[in-house]
Amino acid sequence: MDPRRLGPGARGGPRARIELALHTALTAPSPGNCQPWRWFAGGEVIELYRDPARTSAGADPDGQATALACGAGLGALRVALRALGLAEQTALLPGGHPDLLARVAVGGRASPLPEEQWLYQAAPKRRTFRAVMAHGPLSRALSKRLGAMVDGTGAELHVVEDMARKQAIGAAVEAAIAGEPPVRAAARAAAGEAGVSFEGPDGAEARGPAIADGAPAFVVVTTAADEPAEWLRAGQALMRVLLRARVDHAWGSFLHLPLTEAAGRKQLASLVGATGHAQALARLGGAADSPPTPRRPLSEVLLTQRPS
C-alpha cells in the first residue's frame, strides 16, 4: 500500500511515526473511558505505565480491567508501528517501576502485510456500539479471520453463536449485576456506564433474555493463567480482534462485570469450554457508524520524563 494512504506523517522519520503510533494507542477502549495509561517515549524506546490516578480499586479490585485496557492500547500501538514500517520488540512487565507495564524497543524496518495496514486504519473508526445490532451469524470467513488475530498473542479466542451458550453467558452477566457490591455499582454509575453496555429493542439496557438475543455473537478472550502479564496479552488480543472486526464492518460492545473477579473469570471460561480464564467478553455484530467518544490528547498522557 502507498504509505501516503496511511495519512500525513506515515512517510516521516521514526519520531513522527512513533508519534502517530502513540495517537493510535489512545483509541483503545477502557472502562468508563477512564484511559488508565501514561506513555513515555525516549529516543526509540516507548514505555507504557498504568495511571493509578485513573483507576478505581472499588470498580477494579485486582487491576485486571486496567491492565486489559492498557494492553489494548499496547496492541494498537504495536499494530500501528508495524503498519508504519517500524519493527519492534516488546517486553511485558520489565520491572524497575511498579506502574511500568511494557517497554517497546523500536528498531529496524518492518514490511507490513496489507492486513496490518487495514487494522491500523480501522483504529480511529472503532467504537463501542451500544444500539441494536443487525442479526444473523458472523460469516465463517470472519470468524476465521478473528481467530487468526490472536495467533502468537498467548491468548485464545472463542466465538460463541450457539443460543444455549449465549443464554448461559447472559445468565452469568445477570448474576454479576445482581451480586455487584454497592461500591462497584456506584463507581460504574458515576462513570455513566450500564452493566450491559448495549440496549434492547425498547431502548433500555438489555437485561435477562435480551442479553443473548441482542448479541449476534459473543467473543471471549481467554488465557491459560490469570495474572497481570496475561491480562496485558489478552488486552492486545482483544484490540486486534476488535480492529479486524471493524475492517469487516462488525462492531463490539463489552460486558465486563462477570470478569471483575478471579472466580468469574474461571467460570466464564468454563462456559465456553475453555480450561483457562476469561479476560474479555464482548458482543459482536453488524452495525452502523456512531459518534466517537473523546479521548485525552496525547500531550496529556505523554510523560516528559520517566515517573520516579
Ligand X SMILES: Cc1cc2nc3c(=O)[nH]c(=O)nc-3n(C[C@H](O)[C@H](O)[C@H](O)COP(=O)(O)O)c2cc1C
Shortest spacing between CB 30 and ligand X, in angstroms: 5
CB closer to ligand X out of 98 and 294: 294
Q: Are 212 and 170 in contact (CB under 8 A)?
A: yes
127 part of the interface to ligand X, by CB under 6 A = yes
Segment lying near ligand X (by CB under 6 A), choices 131-139, 172-180, 189-197, 225-233: 189-197
69 part of the interface to ligand X, by CB under 6 A = yes
CB closer to ligand X out of 83 and 280: 280
Shortest spacing between CB 153 and ligand X, in angstroms: 16
Shortest spacing between CB 14 and ligand X, in angstroms: 27
- The one among 148, 171, 194, 303 contacting ligand X by CB under 6 A: 194
**How many chain residues bind ligand X (CB under 6 A)?**
17
Distance CA 139, CA 243 (A): 16
Residue with cell 469450554: 273
Return the C-alpha cell found at 66.
Answer: 486496567
123 part of the interface to ligand X, by CB under 6 A = no
Residues 6-45 that bind ligand X (CB under 6 A): 29-33
CB closer to ligand X out of 86 and 278: 278
CB closer to ligand X out of 29 and 285: 29
Orientation angle between helical segments 114-122 and 64-83, nearest 10 degrees: 130
For residues 254 to 293, the per-residue mask of contacts with ligand X, x marking binding by CB under 6 A and - elsewhere, is x-x------------------------------------x
- The one among 193, 216, 245, 274 contacting ligand X by CB under 6 A: 193
Distance CA 153, CA 134 (A): 30
Name beta bridge partners: 3.
Answer: none
Shortest spacing between CB 103 and ligand X, in angstroms: 22
CB closer to ligand X out of 174 and 193: 193
CB closer to ligand X out of 106 and 255: 255
β-strand 45-50 against 277-286: which pairing, if any? unpaired
Shortest spacing between CB 106 and ligand X, in angstroms: 25
Centroid of chain to Cα 136: 24
CB closer to ligand X out of 55 and 267: 55
Return the C-alpha cell found at 153.
Answer: 498473542
CB closer to ligand X out of 20 and 176: 176
- Residue number of the CB closest to ligand X reads 29
Shortest spacing between CB 281 and ligand X, in angstroms: 9
Shortest spacing between CB 258 and ligand X, in angstroms: 10
| Residues found near ligand X in the complex (CB under 6 A) | 29-33, 65, 68-69, 127-128, 193-195, 197, 254, 256, 293
